[in-house]
Each structure stands twice: as C-alpha cells, then as structure tokens.
Amino acid sequence: MDRRCSIHHHIISYLFPSSTSILFLCISFLVFFTTTTNALVRLPENTTVPAIIVFGDSIVDAGNNDDLITEARCDYPPYGIDFDGGVPTGRFSNGKVPTDILAEELGIKPTIPAYRDPNLRQEDLLTGVTFASGGAGYVPLTTQIAGGIPLSQQLKLFEEYIEKLNGMVGQERTTFIIKNSLFVIICGSNDIANNFFSLPTTQLQYNAASFTALMADNARSFATTLYQYGARRILMFGAPPIGCVPSQRTVAGGPTRDCVVRFNDACKLFNAKLSANIDGLSRTLQDTTLIYIDIYDPLLDLILNPQQYGFKVSNLGCCGTGLIEVTALCNNYTAAVCPVRSDYVFWDSFHPTETAYRNIVAKLLQRYLNRFF
C-alpha cells in the first residue's frame, strides 16, 4: 500500500470498515495527487463529473489501434511531436485530442488514456478512458475496411471496464461513476469518406439519404445502449465538414482543391438526421442529458476564416506537402513537418492540430456547458 494511504489507514478503517471502501479511498487519494489539474471551467455547484468515457474514431483515439494490423494507426513520429515529451502515443494529432482537452478544461485530469494501453494505470479507470479506434464508423463495414475496433467491440471493452470498476470500488460507486460521467461519442467521418464515397458497391445499395439515415439510426441505437448501461450524460457529436479537409480537397476538389460540396452535403444530411434522432430519444429518456453537438460549423468557420482565429493555413496539413499525407504517409523519413504547428488548422491531411482542437473545444464549452449539467 502507498505510504500516503498507510498514513490514513487507521482513520479510514474507523470510518469505512470494508476493504472495498479502503481501496477506493486510497486509489482516489492517489488520483488526487497524480492526475488532477486546475479546472478552467467552473461547474455548477454540487455538480460532479468523475470521469470522461469516450467512444468513436481517430478524432478521439489515444492509442487503441497501436497493436493492430491496420493502416489506421500512428504510434510513430512525427505524431505526438507536441505531446508531453514529444512521444507518439497513437493520437492522430501533433498533441492532445479533443477529449484530452475537455478533461483538462473540466479539471478531471490532463489526458484521457486509451483503454487498451498496456501501461494503463488502474486508477485511470476511475477518471475515464477512451475506447475509440481509428477507422471506426457507425456502419460495421466502415470499420472492417480500416481494420479498427468496431463500435460493437468498443461496447464489449466497456463491459469489461465496468467489471473492473466493480472489482475496484464496488457496485454502488461504479453506478455513481457511470451515471455522472460524461460519455462522448465522435464518429461518422469514416462512414462518409471511406465507405459511401469510396465504395461503388455501397452507392449501388444506398443513396446519400438512405446511407446517412442508416448511420443516424445506428448512432441512436448506440446511445440507447449506453443509457441501458446506466449512462445519463451523453454527448453525440455530428460529422465535421469532410469535404473541406485537405485530403478530400486533393482527391475530389478539382485543380483548385475546393471544398467538395457533395461530401459536405452528406455530412449535413447525416447531422440533421442525427440531431432529430437524438432530440427524439432525449424526449423519450426523460431522466438523461442526451445532447447533439454540432462540430460542423465551428470547424468550417476555422477553415474559411483562419486569420480570424490566428491561423495562417487551413487548406493544407502541417505534415509533408499537406496535400495527402495521413497515418503512414506522415512519417519522419519522407515527410517534413511545418515549424509552427499553431499556424495550421490541420496537422495531417485529415486531422486538426491541437491548437485547432483547443479553439473548437472552447467554443463548444461556451455553447453547450449549461446543457451538459
């Protein structure tokens, strides 16, 4: 037992005679000293957010794909160049990803680690992990294409997580953590970019309306399942303007690399359906906070008006030429890195920089915080 826990053991034993309570308090005590950060956002009085629990794709993956045979991994330089110590962790950015920043802003801890990280500390389970996987989508075929971890398997890992929590702190505390934590789901980009617009077989089976309806229905089912597990604060993010990310402009934007209108239209169609589904589900599940989060407009604003937010480049990635490099093509051997990452909205040709993420998270907190709690 850690010395700091030993010092307080006789007090804890008197107040909380069960061994489970002692274990929980010791772990909590260590978490306080090792992972807490100064909150930048003031929460309402008597509001507790013990953890952030994350599902989705590469936007919020923190290394769950690192041991998989897939191109959707980035556990090598220059990824992570601005992360703590400049170490690549499997995050698809130069630094932190949105849920890291959200945890930091809410004062929970500096980062949200990957659940499948072999070095994951037991106490991190108490304050949140990410199950997200690069390449994942709401449509199962999307994840199969990329070789990532499908949402169905992410849920199985979550079940395992709940069992571990039960073993650590008991049923009552586990229920409290699940009920009061923020659940963040960010998914959908890969369905649109890598499935619908990349596979002729998918377009033979669906049009944009029916495919985005399938995505939105699967997203609603996923949120319903989380509710059944006890989640009561669920944030469902819409799709970003995929047609304006550098790689899609290069591939389908013509000689002048314009934003691809049909890609963005599909994103907006999905977002409208998802928003309607989530609003309807929220009315049905009256004891929950279930919110659709618009990510499309905040990112599009950064792309179209970069100078307004202190950026210089929004149509190229920082890595390599900025035209197409993502994952394996963004590497230390063949791709140079821009010297000032904060000048760029995008880190690689698909994923934003930490600076862009910080800007977006700040906007979202300002807009949605009073609805979170």
Catalytic residues, by residue number, are 58, 348, 351
Taking each helix axis from N to C terminus, what angle separates 208-228 and 151-180, rounded to the nearest 10 degrees? 50
The string over 308-326, giving b where at least 16 C-beta atoms fall within 10 Å of a residue's C-beta and e elsewhere, is eeebebbbbbbbbebbbbb
C-alpha R_g of the chain:
21
Dihedral angle, C-alpha 42, 47, 53, 56, nearest 10 °:
-70
Q: Which amino acid is at 1?
A: M
Q: Kindly report the backbone phi and psi dihedral angles of residue 231, in degrees, each rounded to the nearest multiple of 5, phi listed first.
A: -65, 135
d(CA 91, CA 61): 6
Q: What's 194's DSSP letter? A: I
Dihedral angle, C-alpha 58, 60, 63, 65, nearest 10 °:
-40
Q: What's 43's DSSP letter? A: P
- Give Cα 188 to chain centroid, integer Å: 12
| Half-sphere exposure in the Cβ direction for 336 (13 Å, CA) | 4
- Please report, for residues 12, 21, 178, 282, 290, the alpha-carbon distance to residue 172 in angstroms, rounded to integers and kept in the order given: 18, 11, 10, 25, 23
Beta bridge pairs of residue 234: 183, 290
Q: Kindly report the backbone phi and psi dihedral angles of residue 370, in degrees, each rounded to the nearest multiple of 5, phi listed first.
A: -70, -10
Q: What is the largest CA-CA distance in the chain?
A: 74
d(CA 62, CA 192): 22
d(CA 322, CA 81): 16
